[in-house]
Structure 1
Amino acid sequence: MNEKATGISDNLTPGGFESSGTESAAADVEQATPKAEESAGEVERKIHGIKWILTVGAILSCVFLYALDTTVVADIQPDIIESLGDFQKFPWLATSYALPSCALVLIQSKLYGLFDIKWLYLGFVVLFEIGSAISGAAPTMNSLIVGRMIAGIGGCGIYVGSLTFFSVVTTPKERPIYVTLISPVWGIGTVLGPVRLAKIDWLGLTVWTGWCVSFFMAITFGGTLFEWNSYSMITLWVFVGVLAIGFILTHKCHPFVPVEDRLYPGHMLKNWRLGILQVATFSAAAAVYIPIYYIPLYFQFARGESPVEAAIRLLPFVFMIAFIAVLNGFLMSRFGYYMPWFLGGAILAVIGGALMYTVDISTETSAIYGYSVVLGIGGGCFMITAFGCVSAVVDAKDTFNAIGVLSLVQCLGITFFPAISGGIFQNVGANYIAPYLPPDFSGDPRAILAGASSPEFQSFSEALQGQLAGAIVAAMSNIYTMTIVASGITTLLSPLLGFGKIGA
């Protein structure tokens, strides 16, 4: 992605305005938003033709790689367990990749406002590739986790940078279209105005990062790597509590930064409509990411399919999410109403989650396709809708802060639901299969949950494999209760948004 090929370097600020430094960049951002929102014709994109096509293609290809790496471990988990062992640590592979998004999304977006977007973006691409290389060559589960975390840091930078690029070089009128091109692949990022490094709340960032690491380690390792009443788990939960109090205190006192530069914009807590959008955005992860991880695993156990064959079963679900997300961006821009998307989508997600809860080992494949399509339509309706309508519930001056808050809860949901579902599946699954295991079985029951092609599962007779598969599928169905509950909460809250319109 060089300057000659894409023309990026001449369009680093909103609407393609040139800028020689941070001060002028900040001025350009201030001019372009929200004034540009009031008069879209004042801002004009300067990249056109083949350069623009190549640029968009390059950005989306990077986002695709990041999204691909998000769930690839779910499809090939039997091979990973067979090669590296340490199945108890397996859920951490997903958590370690998504965790940087929770901790760093706000800071990375600020860095894009301060430094040259092209070189910073390329730097994150290189970091992502380094992490991927470490993961591919990892000789142990611990080194694979480290590689995944490095790749996650780089991937998060790609994710934020892609949204930053589209936000600063497109016009306000066309911007939602390009944002929805990214949305079906991964979601949406955040863009904050340019700031200096001295204005970053480093203390708040440090405490928040520590809390994220402690909390997700606790819910991932609890009952798997460590017993719930072990000293290690008690220590982790103590850290969670202490760091939570610490973050509240740093937010309250903000000793090193003025109130407006705190990591979390506290005044946004008073906006209850924005609060509903946050709940909906967080809940959408339960409707989208739980099926992404567990539909392929179902087909491995219930149909004896390979990881690649099982992954193909996701296509109807993913296609509907992508299609509905793009349709949402188009229709909401045209007609303006946003509440029906939350209400209708959440209702469909509840129905789809309930249908997936009823799935057992004998359920027809066509029925599962239908259930996943219903769930995909529901999740696609409100997965990224909040980002498109946030300007209708906050003042223009708070738009970027609101996008940052929404991105934060979205990343929390993307990290939380796969992590907690992995812990539930391992603990509940181990209990479900225990009655069927032969008395002389001395291995770890949780290793059987790695997949139908795992050595532990294959070591049993065909008849016993059928019994174990049925128990595992039954345990897997319980995970969809989180989809039902989370989407149900959104169903109850969304009517309170009213029938307002974007731009009204």
Structure 2
Amino acid sequence: MTEGTSDTTAAAVEEQPLDTQQEKQQQPPASAHPSEKSQGVVESKPEAKPGPPGGPGGPGGGKPFGPGMGPAVEYPKGLKLYSIIISLYLAGFLTALDRTIIVNAIPHITNEFNSIDDVGWYGSAYLLTFCAFQLLFGKIYSFYNPKWVFLTAVVIFEIGSAICGAAPNSTVLIVGRAIAGLGSSGIFGGSVIITFFTVPLHMRPIYSGIVSVIFAIASVTGPLIGGGFTENVTWRWCFYINLPIGVVTIMVLVLMLQMPPARKAGTPIREQFLQIDPLGNLCLIPGVVCLLLALQWGGATYAWNNGRIIALLVLAGVLLLAFVGIQIWLQEKATIPPRVIKQRSIAAGVAFTLMVTAAMMTFTYYLPIWFQAIKSASPVHSGVMMLPTVISSAIASLVAGFLIHRLGYYTPFMIGGSVLMSIGAGLLTTFTPHISEGKWIGYQIFWAVGCGMSMSSLPMHSFEAVLTYNLGMQQASLAAQAVLPRQDAPIGISLIFFAQSLGGSVFLSVDQAIYSNKLSANLGDIANLTDSGVTSIQDRVSPQDLPRFLNGYNGAVIDVFRVALAASCACVVASTLMEWKSVKAQKGGPGGAGGPGSGQPGMGPGKGPSTANGATTTKPKWDAGTQV
């Protein structure tokens, strides 16, 4: 291509560099085969020199915007850039905070609504929609302007938060949580995509590091903030806090953020609709809902042999089996291509993520209930009593991440972490009403260190690695990047993310069923205790019934903890099935794809995989339009 080539042609050809000097560096030799020219293949020469930063061939080379998402546009700078990034961070902070801020508020919510039987729904309703719609949002982002899709997701999240804050009863609160989860599913992926468009490649590790700090802060402070609001103002401010911050985010992005044109231009509406796998989603979403309803109602609202429960379980099985059949039928057009899930480490990683999330969410939701019901702790105090878990997990994650960075292997930490998790979970099941302070602190630390090791990550240097942190299940995400071809990495990572969300929603429903059934069996004849809230429950117990109450309530929570123990033990099995792959093997040298002198877009210096013959392609095998 010469300098006189039209702008239209230049924009249409993704492989073309951004200026004439870079074009000359990237053009194939005259003797190249025509098919090689059309594929953008260049011959790597020993004397290849790095190009300028941010350009093809330079450190972090590649076009300033993801291929396949529109023409190149200048990166925002200065105040504009910082305003956009801070707004994205705020949106991400709110969605991360929303998962933990309600934990210490739940006992007071049950007091106000007399809704102990709905405890599991306050978490699983959010996670259900968050899980069910994230793959769909990934498809939508590939066809429409990410700015407006992201803003739509933020608005949905705000509407859900407003409904939760103003909820007059437990049912409305659950509906609001489901709407907030729907918005959150679009915020996570959207923030990654917008960062991809606004931050130069060589600067992304810095901003990614800030993301990790923000998510850590949200995880640690969420229960404390929720407890503070609940005790000093009202639990409703756990949701109202999202509204002013969300409005600021929307205003800044509307005024400051500029995005390239959407890819939907020229794509028929019918084709867009078919590419989001409508049949698969029509089976997956109601199938998961039926399963959760059966688990929530079974043994509590209705007997397990009730026709409603049987019908829900049968319908869930049929719909989920139909979803699997549709994925096999569609193959490459499926939401989950079968060849990806057949990969050994991906299958094991999905199982590992499902189980570690189940254990984590179980303890996150039911430890505060135990502290407030058995130890009569206030919401703030129960948050403080949870600090051994959150702090130990964060420290263990950072230490394990550093060791993985130095050693290269993540599988040993998955195995070791899951073993520690299992031992710690076993210790937590020994809780008694009169357990000493040293034991309940030490047992939390033991379990949390194992959990943190299992969730650790490497420093983030690429688009996929940014996703890796947001996914939360770090080790399994590293496996997805290490064992899959680059074009399949986003699919593998999205599977891990999906398993994370599904594990939380399904197992919180299982926990709720066990909790409600055990409470009814142990305390059903003591002044209708199962119809009261958690924090006020001891007030309704006579002195002569108090010992039986404490033992019965403790037994119900311990039975739930045994679910987390089983999930932790399952993590041990899943971790041993992982392949031993070194993430250090993913780094290429100078002249290799992603190294200085290469034309591999979207990679920092030395971060791309080397090829046997030194040939590289200027067009990556995946783009920002791939589902994330």
Shorter-chain-normalised TM-score: which range?
A: 0.7 to 0.9
SS in 1 for 2:301: coil
* TM-score (structure 2 length as normaliser): 0.67
Correspondent of 1:229 among 300, 305, 314: 305
Partner of 1:205: 281
**4+ aligned runs moved over 6 Å, structure 1:** 22-28, 36-39
1:293 lines up with 2:322 in the alignment: no
Paired residues of 1:429 and 1:472 also in contact (CA < 8 A): yes
Q: CA deviation at 1:44?
A: 8.7
Paired residues of 2:344 and 2:578 also in contact (CA < 8 A): no
Listed one character per residue, the Cα deviations across residues 292-347 of structure 1 (whole Å, up to 9, x for unaligned) are: 11111111122211223212221221122233334444443443211112011101
Aligned residue runs from structure 1 range 276-355, under 5 A:
276-355=348-427
Aligned residue runs from structure 1 range 68-467, under 5 A:
68-167=97-196, 169=199, 171=201, 174=205, 177=209, 180-181=212-213, 184=216, 185=218, 196-254=272-330, 259-383=331-455, 384-434=474-524, 437-438=525-526, 441=527, 443=528, 445-448=529-532, 450-454=533-537, 457-467=538-548
Paired residues of 1:163 and 1:179 also in contact (CA < 8 A): no
Distance 1:73 1:352, change over 3 A: same
Paired residues of 1:287 and 1:375 also in contact (CA < 8 A): no
SS in 1 for 2:583: coil
Uncovered stretches (5+) of structure 1, i.e. residues with no partner: 1-18, 187-192
Q: Output the amino acid matched with 2:120.
A: P
Q: CA deviation at 1:501?
A: 0.5
Distance 1:71 1:225, change over 3 A: farther
Distance 1:79 1:52, change over 3 A: same
Higher relative contact order (CA 8 A, sep 6+): 2
Uncovered stretches (5+) of structure 2, i.e. residues with no partner: 1-7, 18-38, 41-54, 65-74, 220-261, 265-271, 456-473, 586-628
Take 2:364 and 2:506, find their aligned partners in 1: how far apart are those partners?
14
Partner of 2:5: none
Give 1 or 2 for the bigger CA radius of gyration: 2
Q: CA deviation at 1:494?
A: 2.2
Correspondent of 2:550 among 462, 466, 469: 469
Paired residues of 2:131 and 2:501 also in contact (CA < 8 A): yes
Deviates more, 1:372-381 or 1:86-95: 86-95
* TM-score (structure 1 length as normaliser): 0.82
SS in 1 for 2:545: helix
Identity percentage of aligned residues: 27
1:483 lines up with 2:564 in the alignment: yes
SS in 1 for 2:201: coil
Paired residues of 1:316 and 1:372 also in contact (CA < 8 A): yes
Distance 1:266 1:40, change over 3 A: farther
Paired residues of 1:301 and 1:451 also in contact (CA < 8 A): yes
Paired residues of 1:71 and 1:94 also in contact (CA < 8 A): no
Distance 1:494 1:63, change over 3 A: same
Paired residues of 2:477 and 2:493 also in contact (CA < 8 A): yes
Take 1:178 and 1:385, find their aligned partners in 2: how far apart are those partners?
20
Partner of 1:9: none
Q: Output the amino acid matched with 2:141.
A: Y
Paired residues of 1:183 and 1:325 also in contact (CA < 8 A): no
Paired residues of 1:128 and 1:151 also in contact (CA < 8 A): yes
Take 2:16 and 2:325, find their aligned partners in 1: how far apart are those partners?
33
Distance 1:85 1:386, change over 3 A: same
Q: Output the amino acid matched with 2:294.
A: A
Listed one character per residue, the Cα deviations across residues 352-381 of structure 1 (whole Å, up to 9, x for unaligned) are: 101101111111223212211221121122
Paired residues of 1:345 and 1:381 also in contact (CA < 8 A): yes
Q: RMSD of the TM alignment (CA)?
A: 3.4
Paired residues of 2:122 and 2:177 also in contact (CA < 8 A): yes
Take 1:155 and 1:335, find their aligned partners in 2: how far apart are those partners?
35
Q: CA deviation at 1:43?
A: 4.8
Listed one character per residue, the Cα deviations across residues 222-260 of structure 1 (whole Å, up to 9, x for unaligned) are: 112222122221221121122123223322334xxxx31
Distance 1:202 1:331, change over 3 A: same
SS in 2 for 1:227: coil
Take 2:541 and 2:438, find their aligned partners in 1: how far apart are those partners?
29
Higher percent of residues as helix:
1
Take 2:418 and 2:165, find their aligned partners in 1: how far apart are those partners?
38
